[in-house]
Amino acid sequence: AKEIHQILDEEPVVSEYQLRHWQWIASYYMCAIGDVYRGAMPSALLLESETIISQKQDVFADSATFTDDEFLIYEALQQQSALKIKDIMDILNRKNIFPVIQKLIDKGILILQEEVQEVYKPKLTRYVRIHPNHHTDEALAALLELLKNARKQKEILLSFFQLSAREKKPITVNQLVEASGASVAGVKALIDKGVMEQYYLQEDRVVYTGEMNDTRPSLSDAQQKAFDGINDAFESKEVCLLHGVTASGKTEIYIRQIEEYINQGKQVMYLLPEIALTTQLVQRLQFYFGNQVAVYHSKYSNNERVEVWNQVLQQSDKAKIVIGARSALFLPFSNLGLVIVDEEHEQTFKQQDPAPRYHARDAAIVLAGYFGAKVLLGSATPSIETYFNAKTAKFGLVEITERFGKVMMPEIELVDLKDCYFRKKMTGHFSDALVQAIAEALMRGEQVILFQNRRGYSPVMECMTCGHVPECPQCDVSLTFHKHKNQLRCHYCGYSMAKPTNCHHCSGIDLMTKGFGTEQVELELKGLFPERRIGRMDQDTTRGKYGYEKIIDSFKNREIDVLVGTQMLAKGLDFDNVSLVGIMNADNMLYHPDFRALERSYQMMTQVAGRAGRSEKRGRVIIQTYNPNHNTIRQVTEGDYFGMFKEQVYERKIYYYPPYFRLVKITLKHRDFDKLKEGAMWLYKVLDQTFDLPVLGPEEPPISRIRNEYIRTILIKIPQDQPIGGVKNTLRKILHSFESVPQYRAVKTAINVDFY
Ligand code: ADP
Ligand code: ZN
């Protein structure tokens, strides 16, 4: 038996449900349980160790042999028995203390130990009150008498009484200092005299103090019908999809649903893609639910996240509703009643790297199952998988086909770029039709959004003499030109170089840019509308905690007339003055080499278009494309979600893709090209021989080298109705034997189940 050295937590900081759920994630998404723990817990909940120094028991020290420093430490240890490194620095009044400590260790007097503690630091505020000795009236009178001649101190005390009477709550030292005009030292003198005492209370770091209103707007008929429909679906189903066109008022329906569950004393989790988690939405919820709303977000500090964690753990009223990005899924819920997954089609719900590569929507459905909680998925453009599940009655389905308040769906027009270039009706990348529409909208005092699915100035730079294209030295990708910084930059590894004046290959000076990004759109726009205020929203302009928010606010406040941006613009934003949306080029999305390319193009265009005309006036959308007859573009213009769905589902069925097949992707990486190729082939052959399933590969991905690592992928397709457990077990074994082949030991493998 050993002595207990330290008790780490008096109560567990994780719940039984969490452990069960994390185990499921590790098993389903095929990763180590440690990976899940690391991804799940805010790092401030983890423990950090600190060295402490204590005295060895039972030693008799001959203090006569001590130097002065040694004696000071020894003496301090007589009184405290353990000291931290920084205590000793204080005692000796210097930083260089280790030689002395080492001497005492050598003499067998001291030992070093580790003490473990939470990294989380609660936020403490210092309060003052009258010392309990003076709580009776007589004692108080005596006290004032005593302080008769200490005028300043008496004033402080009187200020304190006034302040307490007015505030009717505990008074902080700072408040008292401010109210009395005294100094902190003055207050401290009263504390030293035993007249007052100080104490600490833990504060919440994040508190909502804004406006609140508990009268809800009444639901429209369509909303009411949808609300009732959801309740009906929940009678027999665990999951319900709310498919409502953009601006149909889905958020208002979520709010009503949330209310139902918190009134039953349940917890509610509201998941959103990171980028859609704006102040706009949080405030909309806080407006109704005030401080019952907690936010869990990667941009929050570690301490703030632990605070939310503890509130959820304690089932506090302050976290009845947790609104968060995918990682909110890992919070210690114990009484979950409802999960909302808004914008459920968003691919950012799927974690890519590092493991666990989980899908937050799917993992949330499993989590809800433990509690018998309901799951409401919402989107104007549901993922094919979810809509399929709804159509096959696995999920409930509720649809809203009209916008709230008789607002019309925007009118979508196509501009054929082939024709425009041919007839010279283009200025840069702007067709005459788009320029005119922008001019008209601005003239009426309305705002405009322009969407281009690429950042930077142009993705390719080419030498007109020899055709050389500058590429990243570490990745297999051309460098993107950023004009503002006059740099070529790699969007995969961050490599950058100054823009060359000559071709590195033939020294030619005729370097041209090809393709275009948001930066170029912005610059051309400034040329077309020099007197207008133009903003840009992409990864390059939204760094920092509030970078994104700042742009949204200034657009909302109409300090920006035209906002140019990437898909960041598509995420559930509600601007009432935007009457025109322009999609600069629909084609680069359509021809992405990915089985989800058309689904995504539809979603992206429909969502961006959905930002137009969200209040009375009908919005207008202009899509510039070389392929006006493309099926997907037609489906977007007609708002034909179901047409898109049917076409995609048909293709997925014949080509063995989700929702009919589950995909397990294995990625292999190595710095040695030949070894990687050989290894990938070895693995592919074994998999193909072992499984009676379609195994594809080893494939060279479109970007086949990143940060000097070559990449190959292998894809296994498993029919949806086949139990996946057996396949995974076999796969684990095969990967294990792959790793034990000596020449492939250094090949890195990553498994992505249900990859997006
Ligand atoms: P969605 O989430 O479907 O895109 P929103 O919930 O943002 O739609 O609603 C679109 C607009 O309509 C918002 O400005 C919202 O405030 C307004 N709205 C929705 N429902 C109501 C209602 N019942 N009463 C008043 N305004 C509503
Ligand atoms: Zn690179």
Average the pLDDT over 54-78 and give the result: 80
Residue 540 CA, distance from chain mean position: 17
Ligand 2: centre distance to CA 708 (Å): 8
Indicate if the pLDDT at residue 567 is higher than 90.
Answer: no
HSE-up (13 A, CA, CB side) for residue 571? 23
Question: Rounded to whole angstroms, how far apart are CA atoms 202 and 170?
Answer: 12
Q: Which ligand is nearest to the CA of 403?
A: 1
Mean pLDDT along residues 18-32: 96
Give the tokens for residue 626. 């070389």
In order of 7, 33, 262, 456, 534, the CA distances from 514 in angstroms are 63, 46, 54, 12, 23
Kindly report, residue by residue over 109-118, the tens digit of the pLDDT: 888 887 777 7
Residue 210 has pLDDT above 90, yes or no: no
Q: Which positions ≥6 away from 206 have C-beta within 8 Å?
A: 294, 295, 300, 304, 307, 308
Residue 151 neighbours by CB distance under 10 Å:
9
Residue 556, C-beta contacts closer than 8 angstroms, at least 6 positions apart: 280, 575
pLDDT for res 593: 79
Whole-number pLDDT of residue 511: 86
* Better-scored residue on pLDDT, 351 or 50: 351
- Checking if the pLDDT of 473 tops 70, the result is yes
**Which residue among 400, 404, 408, 577 has the greatest number of ligand 1 atoms within 8 angstroms of its CB, and so is best to mutate?**
404
Distance 249 CA to ligand 1 centre (A): 4
Contact 669, 710 (CB under 8 A): yes
Q: Give the pLDDT band of residue 58 (cuts 50, 70, 90).
A: low
Q: How far apart (Å, rounded) are the C-alpha atoms in residues 129 and 198?
A: 6
Q: Do 253 and 242 meet the contact criterion of CB atoms below 8 Å apart?
A: yes
Q: Ligand 1 within 6 A of 580 CB?
A: no
Q: How sure is the predictor about 29, in pLDDT bands with cuts at 50, 70 and 90?
A: very high
DSSP designation for 218: P
Q: Give the three-state DSSP class for 82.
A: strand
Ligand 1 close to Cβ of residue 249 (< 6 A): yes
Residue pair 745/699 in contact (Cβ under 8 Å)? The answer is no
- Prior bond of 659 cis (ω within 30°): yes
754, 663 Cβ separation under 8 angstroms: yes
Q: Is the CB of 289 under 6 A from ligand 1?
A: no
H-type helices in 277-346, by residue range?
Answer: 279-289, 302-313
Q: Hey, whose CA ends up nearest to atom 9 of ligand 1?
A: 249
Predicted confidence (pLDDT) at residue 56 exceeds the cutoff of 80: no
For ligand 1, atom 25: residue with the closest CA: 217
Q: Quick one: pLDDT at residue 121?
A: 75
Nearest to 408 by CA among 637, 639, 617: 617
Nearest to 383 by CA among 602, 612, 593, 661: 602
CA-to-CA distance for 143 and 161, rounded, in angstroms?
A: 13
Angle at the Cα of 540 from the Cα atoms of 535 and 543, rounded to 5 degrees: 100
Counting residues of the chain whose pLDDT is more than 90, the rounded percentage is: 52
Question: Rounded to the nearest 5°, which phi and psi values hold at 619?
Answer: -85, 165
> Do the annotations mark residue 31 as ligand-binding?
no
Break the chain down into helix, strand, coil percent, rounded to 5.
40, 20, 35
Q: Answer yes or no: is the C-beta of 223 below 6 A from any ligand 1 atom.
A: yes
Question: pLDDT tens for residues 121-140?
Answer: 778 889 999 888 887 888 87
Closest residue by Cα to atom 27, ligand 1, is: 249
Cβ pair 169, 201 in contact under 8 A:
no
Tell me the C-alpha distance between 248 and 703, whole Å.
39
Give me the mean pLDDT over the 479-508 stretch.
88
The mean per-residue pLDDT over the stretch 215-221 comes to 88
Q: Does residue 389's CB lie within 6 angstroms of at least one atom of ligand 1?
A: no
**SS3 labels along 476-500:** CCECEEECCCCEEECCCCCCEEECC
Comparing 667 with 205, the larger pLDDT belongs to 667
Ligand nearest to the CA of 490: 2
Check whether 727 has a pLDDT greater than 90: yes
Write down the pLDDT at residue 615.
77
Question: What's the pLDDT tens digit per position in 319-341?
Answer: 999 999 999 999 999 999 999 99
Closest Cα to atom 6 of ligand 1: 249
Distance CA 235, CA 300 (A): 37
CA distance linking residue 284 with residue 290, whole number of Å: 10
Cβ neighbors of 554 (< 8 A, separation 6 or more) are 535, 560
Which of 686, 668, 603 lies closest to 639 in space, CA to CA?
Answer: 603
- What pLDDT was estimated at residue 586? 92
Ligand 1, atom nearest to 220 Cα: 23
Q: CB–CB of 182/155 below 8 Å? A: yes
Q: Which residue minimizes the CA distance to atom 5 of ligand 1? A: 249
Does the Cβ of 248 fall within 6 Å of ligand 1? yes
Q: Are 319 and 308 in contact (CB under 8 A)?
A: yes
Residue 614 and residue 574 in contact, taking contact as beta carbons nearer than 8 Å:
yes
The pair of structure tokens assigned to 459 is: 């993705």
CA of 671 to the centre of ligand 2 (A): 14
CA-based nearest residue to 228, from 249, 251, 247, 256: 256
Task: Compute, in angstroms, the gap from residue 219 CA to the centroid of ligand 1.
Answer: 9
Distance of CA 625 to the CA centre of its chain: 32
Task: Note the Cα 184 to chain centre separation in Å.
Answer: 42
Residue nearest to atom 17 of ligand 1 (CA): 249
Which atom of ligand 1 sits closest to the CA of residue 574? 7
How many helices (H) does the chain have, and how many strands (E)? 25, 31
Q: Is the peptide bond before 354 cis (omega within 30 degrees of 0)?
A: yes
Residue 49 confidence (pLDDT): 73
Helix (H) or strand (E) holding 643: helix 641-654
How far is the C-alpha of 603 from the C-alpha of 582, rounded, in Å?
A: 15
Residue 299 has pLDDT above 80, yes or no: no
CA atoms within 13 A on the CB side of 520: 23
| Alpha-carbon dihedral sign for residues 239, 243, 247, 248 | negative
Element (H, E) at 737: helix 725-739
3-state secondary structure (DSSP) of residue 604: helix
- Residue 608 alpha carbon to ligand 1 centre in Å: 17
pLDDT value of position 572 = 60
Task: Assess contact for 359 and 587: CB atoms under 8 A.
Answer: no
- Is residue 645's pLDDT more than 90? yes
Measured in Å, residue 479 CA sits from the centre of ligand 2 at 8
Q: Could you count the other beta carbons within 10 Å of the beta carbon of residue 213? A: 9
- What does the block give as tokens for 349? 């719900």
Tell me the average pLDDT across 713-735: 94
Predicted confidence at residue 653, as pLDDT, reads 95
DSSP string, 112-175: EEEEEEES---EEEEEEEE-GGG-SHHHHHHHHHHTTT-HHHHHHHHHHHHHHHHH-S-EEHHH
Burial of 303 (0-12, 13-18, 19+ CB in 10 A): middle
Q: How far is CA 681 from CA 469, 471, 667, 736, in A?
A: 31, 28, 12, 16
**DSSP helix/strand/coil, 752:** strand
User: Is the C-beta atom of 574 inside 6 A of ligand 1?
Assistant: yes
Sign (positive or negative) of CA dihedral 568, 572, 575, 576: positive
| Ligand 1 atom, smallest distance to 284 CA | 16
For helices 279-289 and 547-556, the axis angle rounded to 10 degrees is: 80
Q: What's the whole-number mean pLDDT along residues 545-557? A: 86
81 exposure class (CB count in 10 Å sphere: 0-12, 13-18, 19+): exposed
Does the model's ipTM exceed the 0.85 cut?
Answer: yes
Answer for the pair 195, 157: CB distance below 8 angstroms, yes or no: yes
**CB atoms closer than 10 angstroms to residue 391:** 16
Instruction: Tell me which of 252, 408, 409 to substitute to probe ligand 1's pocket, judged by most ligand atoms within 8 Å of the beta carbon.
Output: 252
Give pLDDT tens digits for 615-635. 777 899 999 999 999 999 999
Taking CA atoms only, the protein residue closest to ligand 1 atom 18 is: 249
* Separation CA 82–CA 555 (nearest Å): 58
Query: Ligand 1: does its nearest atom lie under 6 Å from the Cβ of 396?
Result: no
Q: What's the pLDDT at 59?
A: 67
pLDDT digits (tens, 9 = 90+) for 363-414: 999 999 999 999 999 999 999 999 999 999 999 999 999 999 888 899 999 9
- Indicate if ligand 1 lies below 6 Å from the C-beta of 278: no
Residue 540 Cβ < 6 Å to ligand 1? no
- For the Cβ of 606 lying below 6 angstroms from any atom of ligand 1, the answer is no
Structure tokens at 533: 């205020």
pLDDT tens per residue, range 670-723? 999 999 999 999 999 999 999 999 999 899 988 889 999 999 999 999 999 998
Q: What pLDDT does residue 667 have?
A: 96
Enumerate residues 6+ apart whose C-beta is below 8 A from 167. Answer: 175
Q: Give pLDDT, residue 102.
A: 86
Instruction: Classify the phi-psi angles of 8: left when phi > 0, otherwise alpha if psi is within -120 to 50, otherwise beta.
Output: alpha
The answer for residues whose C-beta is within 8 angstroms of residue 709's C-beta and 6 or more apart is 669, 670, 671, 748
Does ligand 1 have an atom closer than 6 angstroms to the CB of 276? no
**What mean pLDDT value characterizes the chain?**
90
